[in-house]
Structure 1
Amino acid sequence: MTVANILLSGIVGSTAYGLAHEGSDVDRLGMFAAPTEELHGLHRPKESHVSTAPDSTLHEAAKWCRLALSGNPTVMELVWLPDELYEVRTPLGDELIAIRTTLPSAQRVRDAYLGYATQQFRRLQNRNDGSQADDSQAEASADTGKRTAKHARHLKRLCTQGYDLYATGQLTIRVEDPESYHRFGEQVAADPDSALPLLRDFEERFDRTRSVLPEQPDESAAEAWLRGVRRHFYAS
């Protein structure tokens, strides 16, 4: 996949979190700028480019900003990566990193991170229900167990990272004590319902914590940055 005008790109996912194991996929996330002139035609340019082998997702700058302002946990990672995980970092990308603390807002971060975590829990429950419904299968397959453990690790990470961002205004990508995430994954693979106490605990933490983030996002910084991108890629 060849995409022009990449502004920022890096390695995300389990490698970035410190949860990768032998055989883990390497996921990449990035952002690009469409030529400004193409935004005025009858057909708008493609807003996302997704490929597999290697796994890579690139969002157009405006779409990335909209997703970040909504609290989307996946795109938010791009501007909080450790320096060594960036593969493309341009001056415009650095300008975006410089305003990263203006993008999240309390309610949207809470809704997005807890919402994604709840989705992970429902996947765990559905898998559990399926295995219980079929008495002919005494044990889940090893592959199913691995997927269940992976979803459990994601659930814990989303809760932890989302709460830290909500409480401190900072997003830490690499998790503390990765081994505890692997133990949690194995526990939940054996009993998916054991993930519920952690989810409920974080819901209560969000409820009783006063966030340092504004209640609603101030789009002015993102708007100013995006207009700068449009000026840069405008060919008169």
Structure 2
Amino acid sequence: MGGRHLLLSGIVGSTAYGLAHQDSDIDRLGLFAAPTEELHGLRPPQQSYVTTHPDRTLHEAAKWCRLALAGNPTVMELVWLPEELYEVRTEPGDELIGIRTRFLSARRVRDAYLGYAVQQFRRLEQRGDGPLSAGARTRVAKHARHLKRLCHQGYELYRTGRLTVRLDDPEAFRRFGEQVADDPEAARPLLRRFEEAFDAHPGVLPGEPDERAVEAWLRGVRRRFYGVGVGG
């Protein structure tokens, strides 16, 4: 990724949630700035880099901002990590953390987190009938844990404007995963309960995110890397 400038990176996923076990992969997420001059060329620079072994996803700053403005739960956790999980922090990265609440809006957070939770539930429904193999049971339990996590974290963000990435009681999520592996329908009441909770409470988030603040941050990044080429 020569010439790209890493602004913020940290350990996310099961390690960050407190759900990792000895065989869990370590997932990393970050964002980078492409040299500003590249944005004016015939072809735009690559917007994302995804690797395995190690598992790492990096998004260009503008793409990361667009995803975060849409309420994307995966990218959102990068700016709410516990301090010890950051591996790269720069001045622009700290500035981004400083405006993290400006990305939030009630509708987008609700739709994104509940939408991801519903996706997990659909995967549970597709597990099929009959006993599960050990591998299938592990996958079902994992989908169930993520469904419960998305509901809890999304509702916290919606109600308080803050996101706690590290789960208070990881064992409760593991138990829920095993329960749903036995009976996928056990996930339905939890999903319904959170759908009703979102509908019943207005929360504290604004109707729309503060795109002017996000734009100002992004333009500051572009100024910082103007004239810094691929070899800079």
SS at match of 2:223: helix
Cα deviation, residue 4, structure 1: 2.7
Shift of 1:176: 1.3
How far residue 22 of structure 1 moved from its aligned partner, in angstroms, is: 1.2
Deviations 1:76-109 (A, max 9, x none): 0010000100000000000000000111100000
1:231 to 2:223 alignment: yes
1: CA distance, partners of 2:66 / 2:207: 17
Task: Check whether the contact 1:3–1:32 (CA below 8 A) recurs between aligned residues.
Answer: no
Of all paired residues, the percent bearing the same amino acid is 71
Match of 2:162 among 167, 170, 192: 170
1:215 has 2:207 as partner: yes
- Residue 210 of structure 1 and its aligned partner are, at CA, apart by 1.4
Report the residue type matching 1:61 in the other structure: A
Shift of residue 3 of structure 1?
6.8
- 1:27-51 residue CA offsets vs partner (Å, 9 max, x unmatched): 0000000000000000000000000
Deviation for aligned residue 1:2: 6.0
Counterpart in 1 of 2:7? Answer: 7
TM-score by length of 2: 0.96
| Structure 2 runs not aligned, ≥5 long | none
Paired position in structure 2 for 1:65: 65
Rounded Cα–Cα distance in structure 2 between residues aligned with 1:27 and 1:166: 25
CA deviations on 1:109-129 (whole Å, 9 max, x unpaired) are 0000000000000000011xx
- The CA deviation at 1:23 is 0.4
Q: Distance in 2 between matches of 1:33 and 1:4?
A: 6
Q: How many residues align?
A: 228
1:192 is aligned to: 184
SS of structure 2 residue aligned to 1:7:
strand
Of 183, 197, 215, the residue aligned with 1:205 is 197
Kept after mapping to 1: 8 A contact 2:13/2:26: yes
* 2:152 is the counterpart of 1:160: yes
Instruction: Report what 2:87 is aligned to.
Output: 87
For 2:3 and 2:193, locate their aligned partners in 1 and report how far apart those are by CA, in whole Å: 43
